[in-house]
């Protein structure tokens, strides 16, 4: 609608100006100036939602998305490697704010599919292709050319009564700032309510406080498990080339102990019993940004967690460094990131951490290396490598590595 209406309007304007030039009313130079000015005014009217030639809801809608094609190989000691080709497609829309109200929704691949391959294709073992759990937006190729489905990735209503408070309801991107994905997989969009508050103290300091409540499950015969969180943090500009972002999040699990959660990696309970503990974790996060180090940006970052609800296997950390362009946004931009991971069994719920780190499990340690390179302003190539093992129960057969090669196009 937006594109077709714009083209109709532009086409009619071009024809009118051309006629005025042909009959001598305008010279070619004045006509070009008038056409340019008209198009600029049209753009401004659309941006402000005031264009008369198209519905207001079309003018107030912005679209975005990306396509990622991935080659992935999983390697386990003394086992057959698993190679996969995968697709991720994401499309999102957001309305511009009207009287403080806005909203948005997104669709993404990741529908659940299960296929048991014949043993001849799996080197003597059967393989399940399963996508669609909350920590994945991948669709795996390999089900006889079947078409992956688009699922609702998020959908929310947002209200901003002033410049300080925002209220979010529905399913939305994670409002908790994290320096890494140690505790929260980047594909997770929580369900519930969040009320981020931002306070601008001066030109170099912002404080933020984010209380949230996330619904983890709905149980008809019992209280619904949930997770209450509060995060307090700051953004500090120290100098032209030095800035710091730091925060502390506190989590209180609700009606979790004694129950089971869907999509668990089965390390909190080993998959045999109900959850033994609450998860009232404390999570400090920080990121120090240093610009112009040998002409490039350098950042040091980290996440730390401890769960006082239990006295054993209750800690974790992820510490890393990133060097290169602040963001891979143009052709020739590059960035290298390396981090060390350590997450004990009951430091956090095993339904939430990065699914590529030992399958999203807790009780794991290792490191990750990410290299990204910009091929064009909208296209990038990336390599992500994980080398992981168990913390307790490690043996010669437990190490796992994962390599992902991604081609990403944004639009």
355 and 236, same structural domain?
yes
Higher pLDDT, 115 or 96: 96
190 and 125, same structural domain?
yes
Q: If you average pLDDT over residues 109-120, what whole number do you get?
A: 58
41 and 110, same structural domain?
no
Flag whether pLDDT at 127 surpasses 60. no
Flag whether pLDDT at 268 surpasses 60. yes
Reported as a single tens digit per residue, the pLDDT across 197-253 is 999 999 999 999 999 999 999 888 789 999 999 999 999 999 999 999 999 999 999
82 and 47, same structural domain?
no
Reported as a single tens digit per residue, the pLDDT across 33-83 is 777 776 676 666 655 555 565 666 677 888 999 999 999 999 998 888 999
77 and 35, same structural domain?
no
95 and 9, same structural domain?
no
366 and 301, same structural domain?
yes
Reported as a single tens digit per residue, the pLDDT across 131-175 is 557 899 999 998 788 888 889 999 999 999 999 999 999 999 999
CATH code of 132's domain? 2.40.160.180
185 and 81, same structural domain?
yes
Flag whether pLDDT at 183 surpasses 90. yes
Main-chain dihedrals φ then ψ at residue 100, nearest 5 degrees? 90, -10
pLDDT given for residue 33 in this prediction: 74
- Decide which of 10, 32, 59 is a domain's last residue: 59
The C-alpha angle 190, 315, 399, rounded to 5 degrees, equals 90
Copy the structure tokens of residue 269. Answer: 């309970």
- Decide which of 41, 59, 77 is a domain's last residue: 59
Looking at every residue in the chain, the average pLDDT score rounds to 87
Give 4's pLDDT tier (boundaries 50, 70, 90).
Answer: very low
Flag whether pLDDT at 22 surpasses 90. no
Number of domains in the chain: 2
127 and 44, same structural domain?
no
pLDDT given for residue 96 in this prediction: 84
- Decide which of 39, 59, 79 is a domain's last residue: 59
Reported as a single tens digit per residue, the pLDDT across 319-332 is 999 999 999 999 99
273 and 380, same structural domain?
yes
- Closest CA relative to residue 204, chosen from 247, 162, 244: 244
User: What's 153-206 look like in SS3?
Assistant: EEEEEEECCCCCECEEEEECCCCCCCCCCCCCCCCCCCEEEECCEEEEEECCEE
Exposure of 301 by Cβ count < 10 A (0-12 exposed, 13-18 middle, 19+ buried)?
A: buried
pLDDT given for residue 98 in this prediction: 82
Give 271's pLDDT tier (boundaries 50, 70, 90).
Answer: low
User: How many residues comprise the chain?
Assistant: 411
174 and 38, same structural domain?
no
User: What would the DSSP string read from start to end of 316-383?
Assistant: EEEEEEEEE-SS--STT-EEEEEEEEEE-TTSS-TTSS-TTSGGG-SSEEEEEEEEEEEEETTEEEEE
Q: How far is it, in rounded angstroms, from Cα 39 to Cα 45?
A: 10
Domain membership of residue 35 as a residue range: 1-59
150 and 27, same structural domain?
no
């Amino acid at each position: 609608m937006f594109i077709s209406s714009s083209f109709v309007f532009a086409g009619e304007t071009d024809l009118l100006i051309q006629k005025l030039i042909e009959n001598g009313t305008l010279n070619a130079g004045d006509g070009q100036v008038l056409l340019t000015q008209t198009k600029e005014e049209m753009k401004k009217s659309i941006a402000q939602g005031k264009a008369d030639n198209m519905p207001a809801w079309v003018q107030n809608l912005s679209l975005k998305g990306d396509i990622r094609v991935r080659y992935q190989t999983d390697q386990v000691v003394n086992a057959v490697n698993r190679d996969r080709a995968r697709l991720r497609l994401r499309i999102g829309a957001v309305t511009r704010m009207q009287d403080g109200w806005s909203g948005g929704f997104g669709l993404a691949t990741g529908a659940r599919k299960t296929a048991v391959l014949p043993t001849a294709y799996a080197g003597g073992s059967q393989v399940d292709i399963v996508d669609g759990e909350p920590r994945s937006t991948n669709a795996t190729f390999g089900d006889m050319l079947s078409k992956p489905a688009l699922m609702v990735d998020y959908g929310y209503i947002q209200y901003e009564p002033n410049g300080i408070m925002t209220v979010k309801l529905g399913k939305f991107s994670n409002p908790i700032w994290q320096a890494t994905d140690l505790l929260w997989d980047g594909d997770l969009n929580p369900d519930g309510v969040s009320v981020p508050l931002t306070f601008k103290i001066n030109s170099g300091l912002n404080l933020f406080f984010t209380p949230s409540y996330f619904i983890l499950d709905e149980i008809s015969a019992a209280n619904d498990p949930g997770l209450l969180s509060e995060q307090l943090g700051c953004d500090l500009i120290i100098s032209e080339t030095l800035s710091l972002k730091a925060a502390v999040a506190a989590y209180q699990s609700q009606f979790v102990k004694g129950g089971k959660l869907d999509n668990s990696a089965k390390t909190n309970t080993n998959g045999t019993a109900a959850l033994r503990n609450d998860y009232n974790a404390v999570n400090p996060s920080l990121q120090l940004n240093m610009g112009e180090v040998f002409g490039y940006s350098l950042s040091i970052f980290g996440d730390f967690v401890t769960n006082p609800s239990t006295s054993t296997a209750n800690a974790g950390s992820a510490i890393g460094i990133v060097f290169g362009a602040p963001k891979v946004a143009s052709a020739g931009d590059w960035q290298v990131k390396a981090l060390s991971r350590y997450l004990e069994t009951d430091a956090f719920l095993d339904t939430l951490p990065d699914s590529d780190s030992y399958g999203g499990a807790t009780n794991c340690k290792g490191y990750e290396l990410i290299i990204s390179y910009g091929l064009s302003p909208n296209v990038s190539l990336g390599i992500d490598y994980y080398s992981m093992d168990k913390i307790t129960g490690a043996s010669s057969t437990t190490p796992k590595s994962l390599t992902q090669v991604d081609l990403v196009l944004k639009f």
